[in-house]
Amino acid sequence: MDYRQIFIDQYKANITRRGADRLLEWLLSTDFFTAPASTRFHAAYEGGLVEHSLNVYRIMMKKHFVEGEDDPESAAICTLLHDICKAGFYEVSFRNRKNDAGVWEKVPYYTINDKFPYGHGEKSVFLIERFMRLKNEEAVAIRWHMGGFDDAAKSGSFAIAHAYENYPLAVKLHLSDLEATYLCENRNPEEEES
């Protein structure tokens, strides 16, 4: 399946805000469409990041989007772009592993090389706003899409509770991201074989 083209089609059909074309152009210049979604947990394979973004969009629209109440452009922005912080975030390294014949061989795997350590959700908001203005609810939703997995939330910040109380879109994005990550996506298929 050509997730890159599906993403581009969904993006162009749903995100028409000023600067959206420049943001897409920038995304196309990065490894966003070939990067994994993680190093080993979900969609840890080439193209996993764009596949994950589309899964989050699909779940949002199917389960949490309310026609006439929710803004379709905001839903598309939040779901398709919540993890753009991962563009330029991973690199391929190599390790030794025994193959089926018991012979050691070098195999590739993904590692993190964060050249701009600005946080997860915060970094996505920052990168989007370099090209396109976000509404408050969009910025808050993207900032807190990691829920309790976010470092600030793990440290006891109450900001996430206030975000979820005041911005239903933030809750909807978090739920869509959780479902995509834990119920729709596999780990790296090569890792599962070991």
Residue 150 within a domain: yes
Range of the domain at 40: 3-185
The burial of 174, by beta-carbon neighbours within 10 Å (0-12 exposed, 13-18 middle, 19 or more buried), is given as buried
Closest C-alpha to 58, from 70, 75, 46: 75
8-state DSSP, 121:
H
Instruction: Report pLDDT for 128.
Output: 98
Calpha distance 137→82 (Å, rounded): 13
Residue 194 within a domain: no
Reduced 3-state DSSP string for 164-189: HHHCHHHHHHHHHHHHHHHHHCCCCH
Instruction: Report pLDDT for 148.
Output: 81
pLDDT in tens, the chain (194 residues): 899 999 999 999 999 999 999 999 999 999 999 999 999 888 999 999 999 999 999 999 999 999 999 999 999 999 999 999 999 999 989 999 999 999 999 988 888 899 988 989 999 999 999 999 999 999 999 999 988 888 777 778 888 889 999 999 999 999 999 999 999 987 655 554 43
Inter-residue contact 151 to 119 (CB < 8 Å): yes
Q: What percent of the chain has pLDDT over 90?
A: 76
Residue 193 within a domain: no
Instruction: Report pLDDT for 190.
Output: 55
Instruction: Report pLDDT for 193.
Output: 43
Q: Give the tens place of pLDDT for each residue, 154-189.
A: 778 888 889 999 999 999 999 999 999 999 987 655
Inter-residue contact 55 to 185 (CB < 8 Å): yes
Residue 14 within a domain: yes
Inter-residue contact 178 to 56 (CB < 8 Å): no
Determine the length of the chain. Answer: 194
Total number of domains constituting the chain: 1
Residue 128 within a domain: yes
Long-range contact set of residues 31-38: C-beta below 8 Å, sequence gap at least 24: 31/87, 31/88, 31/90, 32/84, 32/86, 32/87, 33/3, 33/4, 33/7, 35/86, 35/87, 35/89, 35/90, 36/90, 36/110, 36/188, 37/83, 37/86, 37/181, 37/185, 38/110
Sign of the C-alpha dihedral computed for residues 66, 72, 75 and 79 taken in this order: positive
Residue 192 within a domain: no
Distance of CA 118 to the CA centre of its chain: 16
